[in-house]
Structure 1
Amino acid sequence: MNFATWPALLIVDVEGNGTNPPDLVEVAALPVRDGGPDTSTAGAWLIRPPRPVTPRAASLHGLTNGALAKSPTWEEIADQVHKCLGEAWICAHNAHTDYRVLKAHLPTWQPTGVLDTLRLSRATYKDLPRHSLDALIGHIQPDLTAAPAQRHRATYDAYATAQLLLAMADHYATWDQLIAAAVPPGLPGVPEPEKEPTLW
């Protein structure tokens, strides 16, 4: 895979407060450049949600109401997040969730396309019994020594997803082949079907 052919791409991950629909408590946006994650230009935000973090959510990501008490509200940072995301491609694990939550919080935001490492894993490792983030980390064993925070934090999960995407990309010769396997139906970036030749 020639990574120089890739368009602007951000690995994104969001963490919520456990309500339905969720309020955001953390967003991470990690650029992939030259075949690697670029932590020097990554974006990461902690957010004080309008509704309290549920005990279950706090037990997963560790972001308690007390820890977020002095963080900005979504309204205070929404423009920063929108500017960081721009119109770049995004990638996430189980991307429907991250895309849906971000779109609900940023109605005018529109990425060029959405890659899903869950969908890509199912296409790449057809015999793997599970395709969760933890299962993929165990199968691929990427180097996560430079990952910030810990599992279930947006910054860590975005870094891990970046490494998994790059490992799976090696199974595809071109960007077009990669997106054919990785873009979920109904999300931006789905390749146009080839038109049948006609007599006209």
Structure 2
Amino acid sequence: MTTIETSRPRVRVIDLETGGNGPNDVCEIGWQDVIQDSHGTWEVTGERGALLVNPGRPISADTMAVHHILDAQVADAPFWKEIAASILRPSGRIDALAAHRAAFEQRYCTPRFTGGTPWICTWKSAMRVWPDLPRFSNQMLRYQRMPSGLVHEIGLPAHRAMPDAYVTAHHLRDLLNETSLLQLLSWSNEPGLLPRVPSGLDRGKGWDRLTDEALQEFARDRDADIRFSAQTELSRRGEYTEQSVVEPAQKSFL
């Protein structure tokens, strides 16, 4: 870890590994900072790290199979509530927090720990800036785009908190150098704008290729990203208003 100038615009990328699905089940947090230099260019810094966290109960086999963190490794680690704020609210300037599919991190990184710092979702932002890419997972973006300066070994192993945050930070850097921080924050506050239909008979088609009738059906889908994507295309055609679709066809259980 190196010391950086913390008065410059800074976004801290966060990645979590968890031991289950409970509200305090974090077993590792990783971070990587991205700052804006004196010329206005965003860059990945040497400020990165990771801490193991005691989730307070045994880690499930399903999650151990993903990140390979063992109960014995976190037995003497601090609890989430003891260390979260120190990572999420570091000294110096923080303009935003960021994560890939940030809704997951936000389940655990609540305003109690973040102080209300806004979030950037690099998954939602990548679909806006690079819509022609075929896939948008963190690791697929890594190998589809091959971001400059990404040291392959630092970004491994995948599915551990610091390496994943490091990879995400390179996507964030490039997003910030193509559009503004405020634009990324705005997109991140909306559902994901999917470039193509994700499933079904129309899978892989751009929304602009669908009939109005098909779009109206998708605009009632239980998935918020699908609804939003269909509604956006209907709005572009002048066929959508807030009253035109009242309820999803099947309400979400979430």
Bin for the TM-score computed over the shorter chain: 0.7 to 0.9
1:177-196 aligned at under 5 Å gives the runs: 177-181=183-187, 183-185=188-190
Residue 97 of structure 1 deviates from its aligned partner by: 1.1
* Cα-to-partner distance string for 1:81-128 (whole Å, 9 max, x where unaligned): 35428854111100111122111xx62533432111100111012122
CA contact (8 A) 2:12 2:97 kept: yes
| CA pair 50-178 structure 1, distance change in 2 beyond 3 A | closer
| CA pair 112-76 structure 1, distance change in 2 beyond 3 A | closer
Tell me which residue corresponds to 2:62. Answer: 56
Tell me which residue corresponds to 2:123. Answer: 118
Tell me which residue corresponds to 1:192. Answer: none
The alignment's C-alpha RMSD in Å is 2.5
The structure whose Rg is larger is 2
CA contact (8 A) 2:12 2:94 kept: no
CA contact (8 A) 1:61 1:153 kept: yes
| SS of residue paired to 2:57 | coil
How far, CA to CA, are the matches of 1:77 and 1:108 in structure 2? 9
How far, CA to CA, are the matches of 2:160 and 2:166 in structure 1? 10
| SS of residue paired to 2:34 | strand
Structure 2 unaligned regions, length at least 5: 1-7, 192-254
Residue 80 of structure 1 deviates from its aligned partner by: 2.5
* Cα-to-partner distance string for 1:117-149 (whole Å, 9 max, x where unaligned): 100111012122221112211211122335265
**Amino acid corresponding to residue 89 of structure 1 in structure 2:** A
1:41-120 aligned at under 5 Å gives the runs: 41-84=47-90, 88-103=95-110, 107=112, 109-120=114-125
Stretches of 4+ aligned residues off by more than 6 angstroms: none
CA contact (8 A) 1:92 1:161 kept: yes
**Amino acid corresponding to residue 101 of structure 1 in structure 2:** Y
How far, CA to CA, are the matches of 2:134 and 2:51 in structure 1? 34
Tell me which residue corresponds to 1:14. Answer: 16
Structure 1 unaligned regions, length at least 5: 1-5, 187-200
Tell me which residue corresponds to 2:222. Answer: none
CA contact (8 A) 1:87 1:111 kept: no
| CA pair 55-89 structure 1, distance change in 2 beyond 3 A | same
| CA pair 170-59 structure 1, distance change in 2 beyond 3 A | same
| SS of residue paired to 2:51 | strand
Identity %: 26
CA contact (8 A) 1:119 1:184 kept: no
**Amino acid corresponding to residue 166 of structure 2 in structure 1:** Y
| SS of residue paired to 1:42 | strand
How far, CA to CA, are the matches of 1:21 and 1:15 in structure 2? 13
How far, CA to CA, are the matches of 1:177 and 1:115 in structure 2? 10
Structure 1 range deviating more: 117-126 or 69-78: 69-78
| SS of residue paired to 1:152 | coil
| CA pair 49-158 structure 1, distance change in 2 beyond 3 A | same
How far, CA to CA, are the matches of 2:174 and 2:160 in structure 1? 21
How far, CA to CA, are the matches of 1:52 and 1:60 in structure 2? 15
